[in-house]
Amino acid sequence: MDRCHVKDSDSAADSLLRHNLREALYWKALNFASVGRLGGCAQYPLDSAFCEADDACRTLQNMCGSKNSQAHGIELFVEATVMFCRAQALKGGHVTVEQVQGKTQQELWQECLNMYLQSYRILSASRLHLNSETVKAVTMIALCNILLGHTEAAIEWAVLL
């Protein structure tokens, strides 16, 4: 179905279709980024896996609408997770610094942390404080803080759960 048509329509069926498409893109991005994080596989080599994840992220981003909407908070979470997987691929020796725009693991993790924080702020403002999306964001905020050596900050976030 034409994305523009889906984005502009307000019927209940189209709303459900948009929701299902966003959810499918969410999982597509996360799953392909996970494949990339592990170095790729026969069917999806590393570059192809990250390309699929990036394409899903771009499509999701184009569907989001308002920068303060719940959909935007979820899109930020997905984008941060794809970047996190790139940082882990760098750590595992599957990609080079040049393949991640010359950024170090620390720089990537810091960017992820900033995006997860922004995602959390948006998601917690638009829904109940703790829900499946905010719990995922809090978990990744704590993990990024641990990886960056910010143990106290990680503990502060972990106790929110």
The tens digit of pLDDT for each residue in 22-56 reads 999 999 999 999 999 999 999 999 999 999 999 99
Distance (Å) of CA 83 to CA 88, 127, 133, 155: 9, 25, 18, 23
- Look at residue 4 and tell me whether its pLDDT is greater than 70: no
> Does the global pTM surpass 0.85?
yes
Domain ranges of the chain: 3-158
Look at 75-79, 83-87, 129-133 and tell me which has the smallest mean pLDDT. Answer: 129-133
Task: Write down the mean pLDDT value for the chain.
Answer: 89
Largest CA distance in the chain: 48
The pLDDT value given to residue 66 = 73
